[in-house]
Amino acid sequence: MFELFENELNNLNAILDQVKNNSLDFLEKIVDRPTYIADQSIVPGDLPEAGIGALGSLDFFKKHYEKLMVASPGPRYWGFVTGGATPAAIAGDWLTAVYDQNTQSTQGAGDVSAIVEKETMRLLYQLLHLPDHFEGGFVTGATMSNFTGLAVARQWAGALSGRDVAREGAVGDVAVLAATPHSSVLKSLAMLGIGSNQVVQIGTMPGREAMDLADFEQKLTENQGRPIIVNCSAGTVNTVDFDDIAAIAALKQRYRFWLHIDAAFGGFAACSSAYCHLLNGWEHADSITIDCHKWMNVPYDSAVALVRKEHNRLQVSAFQNSNAPYLGDPSENFSYLNFLPENSRRFRALPAWFSLTAYGRKGFEWIVENSIACAQALGNYIETSAHFELAAPVRLNVVCFRLKKDTEKMPLFLKELNRRGKVFMTPTSLSGEPALRAAFVNYRTGKQDILIAIREMEEVMSAL
Ligand SMILES: *Cc1c(COP(=O)(O)O)cnc(C)c1O
Protein backbone atom coordinates (compact mmCIF):
# COMPACT_ATOMS: atom_id res chain seq x y z
CA MET A 1 0.00 0.00 0.00
CA PHE A 2 1.12 3.54 -0.72
CA GLU A 3 2.90 4.70 2.43
CA LEU A 4 0.59 7.65 2.99
CA PHE A 5 -2.48 5.41 3.20
CA GLU A 6 -0.68 2.94 5.39
CA ASN A 7 0.18 5.76 7.80
CA GLU A 8 -3.38 7.05 7.66
CA LEU A 9 -4.80 3.68 8.58
CA ASN A 10 -2.27 3.21 11.38
CA ASN A 11 -3.23 6.65 12.59
CA LEU A 12 -6.98 6.14 12.44
CA ASN A 13 -7.42 6.28 16.19
CA ALA A 14 -5.73 9.68 16.41
CA ILE A 15 -7.59 10.96 13.34
CA LEU A 16 -11.00 10.03 14.67
CA ASP A 17 -10.09 11.35 18.12
CA GLN A 18 -9.17 14.70 16.62
CA VAL A 19 -12.34 14.79 14.58
CA LYS A 20 -14.29 14.01 17.72
CA ASN A 21 -12.55 16.79 19.67
CA ASN A 22 -13.10 19.18 16.82
CA SER A 23 -16.77 18.24 16.63
CA LEU A 24 -17.18 18.69 20.37
CA ASP A 25 -15.51 22.05 20.22
CA PHE A 26 -17.85 23.20 17.45
CA LEU A 27 -21.00 21.81 19.03
CA GLU A 28 -20.26 22.95 22.58
CA LYS A 29 -19.81 26.53 21.41
CA ILE A 30 -22.61 26.50 18.87
CA VAL A 31 -24.83 28.70 21.04
CA ASP A 32 -22.25 31.50 20.89
CA ARG A 33 -21.04 30.97 17.36
CA PRO A 34 -22.05 33.71 14.91
CA THR A 35 -25.02 33.07 12.65
CA TYR A 36 -23.41 35.28 10.03
CA ILE A 37 -19.81 35.70 8.90
CA ALA A 38 -18.89 39.11 7.52
CA ASP A 39 -15.47 38.19 6.11
CA GLN A 40 -16.16 35.36 3.71
CA SER A 41 -12.87 35.50 1.84
CA ILE A 42 -10.65 32.47 1.54
CA VAL A 43 -7.17 32.18 0.10
CA PRO A 44 -7.31 29.75 -2.81
CA GLY A 45 -4.77 26.97 -2.51
CA ASP A 46 -3.15 24.67 -5.06
CA LEU A 47 -3.53 20.92 -5.15
CA PRO A 48 -0.53 19.62 -3.19
CA GLU A 49 1.78 17.21 -4.98
CA ALA A 50 2.25 15.29 -1.74
CA GLY A 51 -0.82 15.34 0.46
CA ILE A 52 -0.65 16.46 4.07
CA GLY A 53 -2.76 13.62 5.47
CA ALA A 54 -6.04 13.73 7.35
CA LEU A 55 -4.66 15.42 10.48
CA GLY A 56 -2.76 17.97 8.43
CA SER A 57 -5.91 18.72 6.46
CA LEU A 58 -7.91 19.02 9.65
CA ASP A 59 -5.40 21.54 10.98
CA PHE A 60 -5.51 23.49 7.73
CA PHE A 61 -9.30 23.44 7.68
CA LYS A 62 -9.50 24.61 11.28
CA LYS A 63 -7.12 27.45 10.60
CA HIS A 64 -8.56 28.70 7.35
CA TYR A 65 -12.09 27.46 6.79
CA GLU A 66 -13.74 26.61 10.08
CA LYS A 67 -14.26 30.28 10.83
CA LEU A 68 -16.55 30.38 7.79
CA MET A 69 -18.93 27.84 9.28
CA VAL A 70 -21.97 29.71 10.54
CA ALA A 71 -24.06 28.41 13.42
CA SER A 72 -26.74 27.08 11.08
CA PRO A 73 -27.26 24.01 13.33
CA GLY A 74 -27.50 26.40 16.30
CA PRO A 75 -30.59 27.70 18.11
CA ARG A 76 -30.95 31.09 16.40
CA TYR A 77 -30.56 30.33 12.71
CA TRP A 78 -34.11 31.07 11.64
CA GLY A 79 -33.62 31.65 7.92
CA PHE A 80 -35.22 29.41 5.27
CA VAL A 81 -36.44 26.25 7.08
CA THR A 82 -33.23 25.15 8.75
CA GLY A 83 -33.11 22.13 11.00
CA GLY A 84 -30.27 21.12 13.27
CA ALA A 85 -28.78 17.76 14.01
CA THR A 86 -29.57 15.85 17.19
CA PRO A 87 -26.82 13.72 18.80
CA ALA A 88 -28.40 10.50 17.56
CA ALA A 89 -28.67 11.91 14.04
CA ILE A 90 -25.01 12.94 14.10
CA ALA A 91 -24.08 9.46 15.33
CA GLY A 92 -26.08 7.86 12.52
CA ASP A 93 -24.62 10.20 9.93
CA TRP A 94 -21.06 9.59 11.10
CA LEU A 95 -21.62 5.83 10.95
CA THR A 96 -23.17 6.14 7.50
CA ALA A 97 -19.76 7.24 6.26
CA VAL A 98 -18.06 4.46 8.22
CA TYR A 99 -20.35 1.68 6.99
CA ASP A 100 -20.40 3.21 3.50
CA GLN A 101 -23.06 0.88 2.15
CA ASN A 102 -24.52 1.23 -1.31
CA THR A 103 -28.17 0.92 -0.35
CA GLN A 104 -30.21 -0.69 -3.10
CA SER A 105 -31.77 -4.10 -2.90
CA THR A 106 -33.49 -5.91 -0.06
CA GLN A 107 -32.52 -9.27 -1.57
CA GLY A 108 -29.33 -8.26 -3.25
CA ALA A 109 -26.07 -10.04 -3.13
CA GLY A 110 -23.86 -8.38 -0.55
CA ASP A 111 -25.22 -5.14 0.72
CA VAL A 112 -28.61 -5.39 2.36
CA SER A 113 -28.81 -2.03 4.12
CA ALA A 114 -32.00 -1.45 2.10
CA ILE A 115 -33.70 -3.74 4.63
CA VAL A 116 -32.86 -1.17 7.33
CA GLU A 117 -34.07 1.61 5.03
CA LYS A 118 -37.41 -0.15 4.64
CA GLU A 119 -37.58 -0.65 8.40
CA THR A 120 -36.82 3.05 8.90
CA MET A 121 -39.72 3.92 6.59
CA ARG A 122 -41.99 1.72 8.69
CA LEU A 123 -40.99 3.58 11.86
CA LEU A 124 -41.52 6.89 10.07
CA TYR A 125 -45.04 5.88 9.00
CA GLN A 126 -45.77 5.06 12.63
CA LEU A 127 -44.43 8.41 13.79
CA LEU A 128 -46.51 10.28 11.20
CA HIS A 129 -49.65 8.12 11.53
CA LEU A 130 -49.45 7.02 7.92
CA PRO A 131 -50.61 3.62 6.72
CA ASP A 132 -47.95 1.50 5.06
CA HIS A 133 -49.74 1.48 1.71
CA PHE A 134 -46.89 3.69 0.49
CA GLU A 135 -43.57 2.60 -0.94
CA GLY A 136 -41.03 5.02 0.41
CA GLY A 137 -37.36 5.67 0.34
CA PHE A 138 -34.69 8.26 0.94
CA VAL A 139 -33.57 10.94 -1.48
CA THR A 140 -31.35 13.99 -1.03
CA GLY A 141 -34.00 16.54 -0.13
CA ALA A 142 -37.57 17.63 -0.67
CA THR A 143 -36.72 18.94 -4.13
CA MET A 144 -35.76 15.42 -5.25
CA SER A 145 -38.74 14.05 -3.38
CA ASN A 146 -41.09 16.40 -5.26
CA PHE A 147 -39.29 15.41 -8.45
CA THR A 148 -39.84 11.72 -7.67
CA GLY A 149 -43.53 12.03 -6.86
CA LEU A 150 -44.15 14.20 -9.91
CA ALA A 151 -42.15 11.83 -12.13
CA VAL A 152 -44.52 9.00 -11.23
CA ALA A 153 -47.42 11.41 -11.75
CA ARG A 154 -46.05 12.15 -15.21
CA GLN A 155 -45.87 8.44 -15.97
CA TRP A 156 -49.47 8.11 -14.78
CA ALA A 157 -50.55 11.07 -16.93
CA GLY A 158 -49.02 9.49 -20.02
CA ALA A 159 -50.57 6.13 -19.26
CA LEU A 160 -54.05 7.70 -19.33
CA SER A 161 -53.63 8.09 -23.07
CA GLY A 162 -51.71 4.85 -23.50
CA ARG A 163 -48.30 6.51 -23.57
CA ASP A 164 -45.18 5.34 -21.76
CA VAL A 165 -43.52 8.70 -21.18
CA ALA A 166 -40.35 7.17 -19.73
CA ARG A 167 -39.72 5.42 -23.03
CA GLU A 168 -41.43 7.60 -25.60
CA GLY A 169 -40.60 10.98 -24.05
CA ALA A 170 -42.74 14.09 -24.44
CA VAL A 171 -45.37 14.02 -21.75
CA GLY A 172 -47.90 16.01 -23.76
CA ASP A 173 -50.63 18.11 -22.29
CA VAL A 174 -50.89 18.05 -18.49
CA ALA A 175 -52.60 20.43 -16.09
CA VAL A 176 -50.89 20.96 -12.73
CA LEU A 177 -53.28 22.54 -10.25
CA ALA A 178 -51.66 24.38 -7.35
CA ALA A 179 -52.26 27.42 -5.17
CA THR A 180 -48.95 28.19 -3.47
CA PRO A 181 -46.46 25.64 -4.78
CA HIS A 182 -42.94 25.64 -3.37
CA SER A 183 -40.31 26.84 -5.86
CA SER A 184 -38.91 23.30 -5.96
CA VAL A 185 -42.21 22.03 -7.35
CA LEU A 186 -41.84 24.42 -10.27
CA LYS A 187 -38.21 23.36 -10.64
CA SER A 188 -39.26 19.71 -10.66
CA LEU A 189 -41.86 20.38 -13.35
CA ALA A 190 -39.10 22.05 -15.35
CA MET A 191 -36.71 19.13 -14.89
CA LEU A 192 -39.43 16.65 -15.83
CA GLY A 193 -40.23 18.36 -19.11
CA ILE A 194 -43.77 19.00 -17.94
CA GLY A 195 -42.89 22.69 -17.81
CA SER A 196 -43.61 25.03 -14.95
CA ASN A 197 -45.97 27.01 -17.21
CA GLN A 198 -48.38 24.08 -17.03
CA VAL A 199 -49.36 25.20 -13.53
CA VAL A 200 -52.99 26.24 -13.43
CA GLN A 201 -53.05 28.79 -10.65
CA ILE A 202 -55.75 28.08 -8.07
CA GLY A 203 -57.00 31.09 -6.16
CA THR A 204 -56.44 31.28 -2.42
CA MET A 205 -58.88 32.02 0.36
CA PRO A 206 -58.89 35.68 1.45
CA GLY A 207 -55.74 36.47 3.43
CA ARG A 208 -54.53 32.90 3.09
CA GLU A 209 -52.06 30.86 1.05
CA ALA A 210 -54.38 27.83 1.03
CA MET A 211 -56.55 26.85 -1.91
CA ASP A 212 -59.98 28.30 -2.41
CA LEU A 213 -61.92 25.06 -2.78
CA ALA A 214 -64.63 26.51 -5.00
CA ASP A 215 -62.00 27.75 -7.43
CA PHE A 216 -60.23 24.40 -7.19
CA GLU A 217 -63.34 22.48 -8.17
CA GLN A 218 -64.04 24.97 -10.94
CA LYS A 219 -60.56 24.41 -12.38
CA LEU A 220 -60.97 20.65 -12.02
CA THR A 221 -64.10 20.91 -14.13
CA GLU A 222 -62.49 23.21 -16.70
CA ASN A 223 -59.51 20.89 -17.16
CA GLN A 224 -61.43 17.65 -17.60
CA GLY A 225 -60.07 15.80 -20.57
CA ARG A 226 -56.48 16.70 -19.68
CA PRO A 227 -54.50 14.62 -17.20
CA ILE A 228 -54.58 16.57 -13.93
CA ILE A 229 -51.89 16.60 -11.26
CA VAL A 230 -52.82 18.42 -8.05
CA ASN A 231 -50.02 19.78 -5.91
CA CYS A 232 -51.18 20.27 -2.35
CA SER A 233 -49.17 22.34 0.10
CA ALA A 234 -48.96 20.89 3.60
CA GLY A 235 -47.13 23.78 5.05
CA THR A 236 -46.22 26.78 2.88
CA VAL A 237 -42.85 28.29 3.74
CA ASN A 238 -44.13 31.81 4.45
CA THR A 239 -47.15 31.24 6.66
CA VAL A 240 -47.25 27.44 7.06
CA ASP A 241 -50.70 27.38 5.55
CA PHE A 242 -52.16 23.98 4.72
CA ASP A 243 -54.47 23.22 1.82
CA ASP A 244 -57.59 21.41 3.02
CA ILE A 245 -56.24 17.98 2.23
CA ALA A 246 -59.32 16.03 3.37
CA ALA A 247 -61.65 18.12 1.21
CA ILE A 248 -59.32 17.94 -1.78
CA ALA A 249 -58.87 14.17 -1.41
CA ALA A 250 -62.64 13.73 -1.15
CA LEU A 251 -62.98 15.21 -4.64
CA LYS A 252 -61.10 12.19 -5.96
CA GLN A 253 -64.44 10.40 -5.76
CA ARG A 254 -65.79 12.64 -8.51
CA TYR A 255 -62.78 13.76 -10.50
CA ARG A 256 -59.74 11.92 -11.71
CA PHE A 257 -56.43 13.47 -10.62
CA TRP A 258 -53.07 12.61 -9.14
CA LEU A 259 -52.73 14.02 -5.64
CA HIS A 260 -49.22 15.04 -4.68
CA ILE A 261 -48.68 16.53 -1.23
CA ASP A 262 -45.62 18.63 -0.52
CA ALA A 263 -45.36 18.18 3.25
CA ALA A 264 -41.62 18.89 3.33
CA PHE A 265 -41.64 20.18 6.88
CA GLY A 266 -45.38 20.48 7.64
CA GLY A 267 -45.67 16.69 7.63
CA PHE A 268 -44.13 16.68 11.08
CA ALA A 269 -47.23 18.43 12.43
CA ALA A 270 -48.50 14.84 12.51
CA CYS A 271 -46.25 14.32 15.56
CA SER A 272 -48.35 16.70 17.63
CA SER A 273 -51.79 15.72 18.87
CA ALA A 274 -52.70 19.41 18.84
CA TYR A 275 -51.80 19.94 15.17
CA CYS A 276 -52.03 16.55 13.46
CA HIS A 277 -55.52 17.45 12.17
CA LEU A 278 -53.82 19.71 9.60
CA LEU A 279 -52.84 16.53 7.76
CA ASN A 280 -56.24 14.86 7.90
CA GLY A 281 -56.74 12.86 4.73
CA TRP A 282 -53.11 12.86 3.61
CA GLU A 283 -53.13 9.08 3.53
CA HIS A 284 -55.26 9.44 0.36
CA ALA A 285 -52.38 11.08 -1.52
CA ASP A 286 -50.77 9.35 -4.47
CA SER A 287 -47.40 10.76 -3.50
CA ILE A 288 -46.01 12.66 -0.52
CA THR A 289 -42.83 14.66 0.05
CA ILE A 290 -41.28 14.80 3.51
CA ASP A 291 -37.94 16.37 4.40
CA CYS A 292 -35.89 14.86 7.21
CA HIS A 293 -33.17 17.52 7.27
CA LYS A 294 -35.68 20.13 8.39
CA TRP A 295 -38.00 19.41 11.31
CA MET A 296 -36.67 15.93 11.97
CA ASN A 297 -33.28 17.48 12.75
CA VAL A 298 -31.08 15.05 10.86
CA PRO A 299 -28.10 16.50 8.95
CA TYR A 300 -28.43 17.53 5.29
CA ASP A 301 -29.13 15.47 2.67
CA SER A 302 -32.16 13.62 3.75
CA ALA A 303 -35.77 13.44 2.68
CA VAL A 304 -38.24 10.71 1.85
CA ALA A 305 -40.41 10.22 -1.20
CA LEU A 306 -43.64 8.29 -0.68
CA VAL A 307 -45.69 6.84 -3.53
CA ARG A 308 -48.71 4.61 -3.14
CA LYS A 309 -47.90 0.92 -3.58
CA GLU A 310 -50.71 0.61 -6.11
CA HIS A 311 -48.52 2.77 -8.40
CA ASN A 312 -45.52 0.45 -8.02
CA ARG A 313 -45.51 -0.46 -11.69
CA LEU A 314 -45.73 3.16 -12.82
CA GLN A 315 -42.93 4.04 -10.44
CA VAL A 316 -40.76 1.25 -11.76
CA SER A 317 -41.42 2.29 -15.35
CA ALA A 318 -40.37 5.82 -14.46
CA PHE A 319 -37.18 4.84 -12.66
CA GLN A 320 -36.26 1.41 -13.96
CA ASN A 321 -32.53 1.13 -14.40
CA SER A 322 -32.12 -2.03 -16.41
CA ASN A 323 -32.67 -2.22 -20.16
CA ALA A 324 -34.84 -5.28 -19.87
CA PRO A 325 -38.53 -4.54 -19.52
CA TYR A 326 -39.54 -5.00 -15.93
CA LEU A 327 -41.17 -8.34 -15.38
CA GLY A 328 -42.82 -9.73 -12.35
CA ASP A 329 -44.05 -8.14 -9.17
CA PRO A 330 -42.01 -5.05 -8.20
CA SER A 331 -42.48 -5.86 -4.52
CA GLU A 332 -40.50 -9.04 -5.06
CA ASN A 333 -36.84 -8.64 -5.75
CA PHE A 334 -37.24 -5.08 -4.53
CA SER A 335 -34.49 -2.65 -5.37
CA TYR A 336 -34.47 1.09 -4.73
CA LEU A 337 -32.42 1.32 -7.89
CA ASN A 338 -35.63 0.84 -9.87
CA PHE A 339 -37.80 3.04 -7.65
CA LEU A 340 -35.90 6.26 -7.10
CA PRO A 341 -33.73 8.58 -9.20
CA GLU A 342 -30.31 7.55 -7.93
CA ASN A 343 -28.41 4.37 -8.68
CA SER A 344 -25.59 4.28 -6.14
CA ARG A 345 -27.20 5.42 -2.92
CA ARG A 346 -25.79 6.56 0.40
CA PHE A 347 -27.20 4.73 3.44
CA ARG A 348 -29.27 7.85 4.14
CA ALA A 349 -31.79 6.08 6.28
CA LEU A 350 -29.31 5.54 9.11
CA PRO A 351 -29.37 9.03 10.72
CA ALA A 352 -33.16 8.91 10.57
CA TRP A 353 -33.26 5.40 12.03
CA PHE A 354 -31.01 6.50 14.89
CA SER A 355 -33.21 9.52 15.55
CA LEU A 356 -36.48 7.61 15.48
CA THR A 357 -35.10 4.94 17.78
CA ALA A 358 -33.33 7.36 20.10
CA TYR A 359 -36.17 9.84 20.62
CA GLY A 360 -39.38 8.02 19.79
CA ARG A 361 -42.83 9.52 19.48
CA LYS A 362 -42.47 11.70 22.57
CA GLY A 363 -39.17 13.17 21.43
CA PHE A 364 -40.56 14.32 18.11
CA GLU A 365 -43.77 15.58 19.64
CA TRP A 366 -41.61 17.70 21.92
CA ILE A 367 -39.47 19.07 19.08
CA VAL A 368 -42.54 20.06 17.07
CA GLU A 369 -44.46 21.60 19.95
CA ASN A 370 -41.37 23.39 21.24
CA SER A 371 -40.80 24.98 17.82
CA ILE A 372 -44.42 26.08 17.69
CA ALA A 373 -44.19 27.56 21.19
CA CYS A 374 -41.07 29.50 20.14
CA ALA A 375 -42.85 30.86 17.07
CA GLN A 376 -45.80 31.90 19.22
CA ALA A 377 -43.52 33.63 21.70
CA LEU A 378 -41.86 35.70 18.97
CA GLY A 379 -45.29 36.30 17.41
CA ASN A 380 -46.65 37.58 20.74
CA TYR A 381 -43.79 40.02 21.02
CA ILE A 382 -44.32 41.28 17.46
CA GLU A 383 -48.05 41.75 18.01
CA THR A 384 -47.42 44.10 20.92
CA SER A 385 -44.33 45.76 19.49
CA ALA A 386 -44.19 49.41 18.46
CA HIS A 387 -41.84 48.59 15.57
CA PHE A 388 -43.17 45.42 13.98
CA GLU A 389 -46.40 43.81 12.87
CA LEU A 390 -47.32 40.30 11.81
CA ALA A 391 -47.73 39.83 8.06
CA ALA A 392 -49.83 36.74 8.80
CA PRO A 393 -51.06 34.97 11.91
CA VAL A 394 -48.55 32.51 13.38
CA ARG A 395 -50.13 29.30 12.16
CA LEU A 396 -47.40 26.90 13.15
CA ASN A 397 -43.63 27.35 13.35
CA VAL A 398 -42.94 30.35 11.11
CA VAL A 399 -43.29 34.03 12.01
CA CYS A 400 -43.81 36.24 8.97
CA PHE A 401 -43.62 39.93 9.83
CA ARG A 402 -42.90 43.46 8.67
CA LEU A 403 -41.80 46.80 9.97
CA LYS A 404 -44.85 48.78 11.02
CA LYS A 405 -43.57 52.06 9.62
CA ASP A 406 -40.86 52.97 7.10
CA THR A 407 -41.21 49.60 5.41
CA GLU A 408 -38.59 50.69 2.87
CA LYS A 409 -36.09 50.29 5.71
CA MET A 410 -36.81 46.56 5.98
CA PRO A 411 -33.81 45.40 3.90
CA LEU A 412 -31.55 47.62 5.98
CA PHE A 413 -33.06 46.29 9.21
CA LEU A 414 -32.53 42.69 8.10
CA LYS A 415 -29.01 43.34 6.89
CA GLU A 416 -28.04 44.91 10.18
CA LEU A 417 -29.81 42.27 12.26
CA ASN A 418 -28.05 39.45 10.41
CA ARG A 419 -24.69 41.23 10.36
CA ARG A 420 -24.63 41.25 14.16
CA GLY A 421 -24.50 37.47 14.00
CA LYS A 422 -26.76 36.66 16.95
CA VAL A 423 -29.82 35.67 14.98
CA PHE A 424 -30.40 34.96 11.29
CA MET A 425 -33.61 35.55 9.33
CA THR A 426 -34.46 35.68 5.63
CA PRO A 427 -36.55 38.03 3.49
CA THR A 428 -39.58 36.93 1.53
CA SER A 429 -42.52 38.26 -0.36
CA LEU A 430 -46.08 37.71 0.79
CA SER A 431 -48.96 38.73 -1.50
CA GLY A 432 -46.45 40.76 -3.46
CA GLU A 433 -45.30 42.71 -0.40
CA PRO A 434 -41.85 42.28 1.12
CA ALA A 435 -41.75 40.62 4.53
CA LEU A 436 -39.33 38.90 6.90
CA ARG A 437 -39.39 35.33 8.11
CA ALA A 438 -38.23 33.52 11.22
CA ALA A 439 -38.66 29.75 10.97
CA PHE A 440 -38.43 27.57 14.07
CA VAL A 441 -37.19 24.09 13.34
CA ASN A 442 -34.13 23.46 15.48
CA TYR A 443 -34.60 21.39 18.64
CA ARG A 444 -32.09 23.56 20.51
CA THR A 445 -34.14 26.75 20.30
CA GLY A 446 -35.77 27.91 23.53
CA LYS A 447 -37.34 30.92 25.24
CA GLN A 448 -33.88 32.34 26.03
CA ASP A 449 -33.20 32.57 22.30
CA ILE A 450 -36.42 34.48 21.70
CA LEU A 451 -35.34 36.98 24.37
CA ILE A 452 -31.93 37.40 22.70
CA ALA A 453 -33.60 37.93 19.32
CA ILE A 454 -36.03 40.50 20.73
CA ARG A 455 -33.17 42.43 22.30
CA GLU A 456 -31.31 42.37 18.99
CA MET A 457 -34.37 43.50 17.04
CA GLU A 458 -34.97 46.38 19.47
CA GLU A 459 -31.35 47.48 19.34
CA VAL A 460 -31.22 47.42 15.57
CA MET A 461 -34.45 49.44 15.37
CA SER A 462 -33.19 52.09 17.77
CA ALA A 463 -30.05 52.55 15.67
CA LEU A 464 -31.84 52.51 12.30
C1 LIG B 1 -37.63 23.10 1.86
C2 LIG B 1 -38.82 22.78 1.06
C3 LIG B 1 -38.71 22.16 -0.18
C4 LIG B 1 -37.38 21.86 -0.83
O5 LIG B 1 -36.62 21.08 0.00
P6 LIG B 1 -35.06 20.84 -0.11
O7 LIG B 1 -34.83 19.89 0.99
O8 LIG B 1 -34.43 22.17 0.09
O9 LIG B 1 -34.77 20.27 -1.45
C10 LIG B 1 -39.88 21.81 -0.84
N11 LIG B 1 -41.07 22.12 -0.31
C12 LIG B 1 -41.22 22.75 0.86
C13 LIG B 1 -42.58 23.05 1.38
C14 LIG B 1 -40.09 23.11 1.60
O15 LIG B 1 -40.23 23.73 2.78
- Per residue in 233-290, pLDDT tens? 999 999 999 999 999 999 999 999 999 999 999 999 999 999 999 999 999 999 999 9
Q: What pLDDT does 362 receive?
A: 98
Q: What pLDDT does 75 receive?
A: 98
Give percent of the chain with pLDDT exceeding 90.
Answer: 92
Q: Examine residue 162 and state whether it is found in any structural domain, yes or no.
A: yes
At residue 330 the predicted structure's pLDDT band, cuts being 50, 70 and 90, is low
Q: Which residue minimizes the CA distance to atom 14 of ligand 1?
A: 264
Q: What pLDDT does 425 receive?
A: 98
Atom of ligand 1 nearest to the CA of 266: 13
At residue 322 the predicted structure's pLDDT band, cuts being 50, 70 and 90, is confident
Give the least confident one: 163-177, 390-404, 439-453. 163-177
Q: What pLDDT does 44 receive?
A: 87
* pLDDT average, residue stretch 295-314: 97
Atom of ligand 1 nearest to the CA of 234: 13
* pLDDT average, residue stretch 381-408: 97
Q: What tens digit of pLDDT does each residue of 99-146 get?
A: 999 998 887 666 789 999 999 999 999 999 999 999 999 999 999 999
Q: What tens digit of pLDDT does each residue of 38-92 get?
A: 988 988 889 999 999 999 999 999 999 999 999 999 999 999 999 999 999 999 9
> Is residue 265 in contact with ligand 1, taking CB distance under 6 Å?
yes
Structural domain boundaries, residue 97? 90-355
How many angstroms is it from 234 CA to the middle of ligand 1? 11
Which of 140, 184, 301 has most ligand 1 atoms within 8 Å of its beta carbon, as the pocket-test mutant?
Answer: 184
Atom of ligand 1 nearest to the CA of 144: 9
Q: What pLDDT does 71 receive?
A: 98
Residue 327 has pLDDT above 70, yes or no: no
Q: Which residue minimizes the CA distance to atom 5 of ligand 1?
A: 142
* pLDDT average, residue stretch 364-374: 98
Q: What pLDDT does 412 receive?
A: 98
Atom of ligand 1 nearest to the CA of 145: 9
Which of 180, 182, 187 has most ligand 1 atoms within 8 Å of its beta carbon, as the pocket-test mutant?
Answer: 182
Q: Examine residue 169 and state whether it is found in any structural domain, yes or no.
A: yes
Which of 145, 148, 231, 291 has most ligand 1 atoms within 8 Å of its beta carbon, as the pocket-test mutant?
Answer: 291
Residue 174 has pLDDT above 70, yes or no: yes
Residue 324 has pLDDT above 70, yes or no: no
**SS3 assignment for the chain:** CCHHHHHHHHCHHHHHHHHHHHHHHHHHCCCCCCCCCCCCCCCCCCCCCCCCHHHHHHHHHHHHCHHHCCCCCCCCECCCCCCCCCHHHHHHHHHHHHHCCCCCECCCCCCCHHHHHHHHHHHHHHHCCCCCCEEEEEECCHHHHHHHHHHHHHHHHHHHCCCCHHHHCCCCCCEEEECCCCHHHHHHHHHCCCCHHHEEECCECCCCCCECHHHHHHHHHHCCCCCEEEEEEECCCCCCCECCHHHHHHHHHCCCCEEEEECCCHHHHHHCCCCHHHHCCHHHCCEEEEECCCCCCCCCCCEEEEEEHHHHHHHHHHHCCCCCCCCCCCCCCCEHHHCCCCCCCCCCHHHHHHHHHHHHHHHHHHHHHHHHHHHHHHHHHHHHCCCEEECCCCCCCEEEEEECCCHHHHHHHHHHHHHCCCCECEEEEECCEEEEEEECCCCCCCHHHHHHHHHHHHHHHHHC
Q: Which residue minimizes the CA distance to atom 3 of ligand 1?
A: 142
Residue 325 has pLDDT above 60, yes or no: no
Q: What pLDDT does 107 receive?
A: 75
At residue 170 the predicted structure's pLDDT band, cuts being 50, 70 and 90, is confident
Q: Examine residue 249 and state whether it is found in any structural domain, yes or no.
A: yes
Residue 443 has pLDDT above 70, yes or no: yes
Q: Examine residue 379 and state whether it is found in any structural domain, yes or no.
A: no
Q: What pLDDT does 108 receive?
A: 64
How many angstroms is it from 199 CA to the middle of ligand 1? 18
> Is residue 143 in contact with ligand 1, taking CB distance under 6 Å?
yes
Q: Examine residue 120 and state whether it is found in any structural domain, yes or no.
A: yes
How many angstroms is it from 231 CA to the middle of ligand 1? 14
Q: Examine residue 122 and state whether it is found in any structural domain, yes or no.
A: yes
pTM, to two decimals: 0.97
Q: Examine residue 155 and state whether it is found in any structural domain, yes or no.
A: yes
Overall domain count for the chain? 1
Q: Examine residue 161 and state whether it is found in any structural domain, yes or no.
A: yes
> Is residue 237 in contact with ligand 1, taking CB distance under 6 Å?
yes
> Is residue 262 in contact with ligand 1, taking CB distance under 6 Å?
yes
Q: What pLDDT does 232 receive?
A: 98
Q: What is the CATH number of the domain that holds 151?
A: 3.40.640.10
Atom of ligand 1 nearest to the CA of 233: 13
Q: What pLDDT does 323 receive?
A: 61
